[in-house]
C-alpha cells in the first residue's frame, strides 16, 4: 500500500489525478447542465425563453407553466394512469421474474440448461415489432393497460442476475424450512424473498423506470386517448407548435414554451425522488448477483 501511495505522489501521478478530475467534472457537467437548463426554463417567462438561448437562472420567476399543468385534467388523468400502471406493472414483473428465477436457481432442475439457453437466446434475438403486435392483438390486449405490462413482464438480464443471487443463498436455510414443513412457494415467500431485498429493490427500480419512461408501447397499443400515459402527454405537449386551453382541459391558454419545460420536469422528478430510497440497495444488488454464472 505504501508503494502505491508513493507512486501517486509523483508528478505523473498528480497529473493523472488532475486530468481524471477534469474529465469527470466535464462529463458530469454535460449530464447535469441540460437538466438545470430545463429546470430554470420551467420557471422562466415566455419573453426570456425566446430571447435567451441558454441560462441556468431565470431573471424573473413565474409558476404559470406549472399552474397550467396541474390545472389540466388531461395531465392529471395521464399522471394517475402512469403511476397506477408503473406500480402494478413493477409488482407483476418483479413477481414473475422471481417465480421463474427461483426454480432455475436449482441445479437439479430437469431441463435447466435448455431453459437458460432459451433465456439467453432472447437477449440476442427478438421477435420484432410486428410479430409482437400481432401476438398482443390476438390475445385481446390492444387498447388495454395490460399491453404495457405483459409483453415485457420478464427481462432476461434481470432474470439471470436474480437467479444467480438466489443460487448464492445458503442451502441450509431452505433445508431447515423444508424440515418445518414449508413447501417451495412458502420458502420463496418467507425465506428467499426477505433475504433478497437488495437485488429485488434494484430491479424493482429498473422495472419501474422502464415502465414510467415507456413511450413506444402506449403509442403502438393504445388507441383511446383517455388511456394515454404521461409520456404520451409529454409527446403531445413538446411536439405541438402551440397548445390551446382545450388541448389541456384548462380554462386559460398555457404558456407556449414554458409548459414544455415544466412537463419534462414533472415527468422526470418522480424517478429522481424514488432513487435515493433504493440507493443503498443499488450497488449491492447489481454486483452480488453477477458473480456466479
What would the pLDDT profile of 4-51 be if each residue is shown by its tens digit?
A: 554 557 877 788 888 899 999 999 888 888 889 989 888 888 888 888
pLDDT on residue 81: 93
- Per the CB < 8 A criterion, the answer to whether 165 and 288 are in contact is yes
Reported as a single tens digit per residue, the pLDDT across 113-148 is 899 999 889 888 887 888 889 999 999 999 999 999
Tell me the three cell numbers of residue 58. 431565470
Residue 100 pLDDT level (bands cut at 50, 70, 90): very high
Full-prediction pTM beyond 0.85?
no
Reported as a single tens digit per residue, the pLDDT across 75-93 is 889 999 999 999 999 999 9
Looking at per-residue confidence, does 238 or 280 come out higher?
A: 238
To 5 degrees, how large is the angle CA 114–CA 118–CA 119?
115
3-state secondary structure 68-136: HHHCCHHHHHHHHHHHHHHHHHHHHHHHHHHHHHHHHCCCCCCCHHHHHHHHHHHHHCCCCHHHHHHHH
Our CA dihedral for 238, 211, 161, 195, rounded to 10 degrees, sits at 130
pLDDT on residue 1: 45
Q: What is the mean pLDDT of residues 177-204?
A: 85
Helix (H) or strand (E) holding 40: helix 11-42
pLDDT on residue 198: 82
Which CATH superfamily includes the segment(s) 64-292? MetI-like (1.10.3720.10)
d(CA 263, CA 42) in angstroms, rounded, equals: 8
Closest alpha carbon to 218 in 231, 234, 236, 205: 231
pLDDT on residue 2: 47
Looking at per-residue confidence, does 107 or 243 come out higher?
A: 107
φ/ψ region of 249 (left if φ > 0, alpha if ψ in -120 to 50, else beta) reads left
Q: What is the mean pLDDT of residues 217-228?
A: 88
d(CA 19, CA 33) in angstroms, rounded, equals: 21
Looking at per-residue confidence, does 273 or 283 come out higher?
A: 273
Q: Does the pLDDT at position 254 exceed 70?
A: no
Q: What is the mean pLDDT of residues 198-212?
A: 88
pLDDT on residue 126: 80
Residue with cell 391558454: 253
Tell me the three cell numbers of residue 204. 424493482
- Per the CB < 8 A criterion, the answer to whether 41 and 258 are in contact is yes
- Mean pLDDT check: name the lowest of 97-111, 233-247, 262-276: 233-247
Q: Does the pLDDT at position 240 exceed 80?
A: no
Cα–Cα distances (Å) from 76 to 81, 228, 250, 263, 268, in that order, read 8, 11, 11, 12, 15
d(CA 37, CA 261) in angstroms, rounded, equals: 9
d(CA 288, CA 161) in angstroms, rounded, equals: 8
Amino acid at each position: 500500500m505504501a508503494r502505491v501511495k508513493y507512486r501517486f505522489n509523483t508528478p505523473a501521478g498528480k497529473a493523472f489525478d488532475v486530468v481524471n478530475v477534469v474529465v469527470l467534472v466535464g462529463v458530469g457537467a454535460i449530464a447535469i447542465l441540460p437538466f438545470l437548463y430545463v429546470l430554470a426554463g420551467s420557471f422562466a417567462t415566455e419573453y426570456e425563453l425566446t430571447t435567451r438561448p441558454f441560462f441556468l437562472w431565470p431573471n424573473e420567476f413565474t409558476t404559470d407553466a406549472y399552474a397550467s399543468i396541474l390545472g389540466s385534467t388531461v395531465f392529471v388523468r395521464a399522471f394517475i394512469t402512469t403511476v397506477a400502471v408503473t406500480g402494478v406493472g413493477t409488482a407483476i414483473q418483479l413477481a414473475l421474474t422471481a417465480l421463474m428465477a427461483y426454480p432455475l436457481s436449482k441445479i437439479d432442475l430437469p431441463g435447466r440448461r435448455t431453459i437458460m439457453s432459451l433465456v439467453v437466446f432472447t437477449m440476442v434475438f427478438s421477435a420484432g415489432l410486428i410479430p409482437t403486435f400481432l401476438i398482443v392483438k390476438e390475445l385481446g390486449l390492444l387498447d388495454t393497460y395490460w399491453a404495457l405490462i405483459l409483453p415485457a413482464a420478464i427481462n432476461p438480464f434481470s432474470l439471470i442476475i436474480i437467479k444467480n443471487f438466489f443460487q448464492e443463498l445458503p442451502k441450509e436455510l431452505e433445508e431447515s424450512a423444508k424440515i418445518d414443513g414449508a413447501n417451495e412457494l412458502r420458502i420463496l415467500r418467507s425465506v428467499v424473498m426477505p433475504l433478497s431485498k437488495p437485488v429485488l429493490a434494484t430491479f424493482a427500480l429498473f422495472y419501474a423506470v422502464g415502465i414510467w419512461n415507456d413511450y413506444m408501447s402506449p403509442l403502438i397499443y393504445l388507441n383511446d386517448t383517455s388511456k394515454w400515459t404521461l409520456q404520451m402527454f409529454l409527446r403531445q405537449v413538446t411536439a405541438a407548435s402551440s397548445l390551446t386551453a382545450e388541448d389541456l382541459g384548462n380554462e386559460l391558454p398555457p404558456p407556449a414554451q414554458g409548459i414544455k419545460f415544466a412537463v419534462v420536469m414533472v415527468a422526470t422528478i418522480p424517478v429522481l425522488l424514488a432513487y435515493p430510497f433504493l440507493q443503498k440497495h443499488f450497488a449491492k444488488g447489481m454486483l452480488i448477483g453477477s458473480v456466479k454464472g
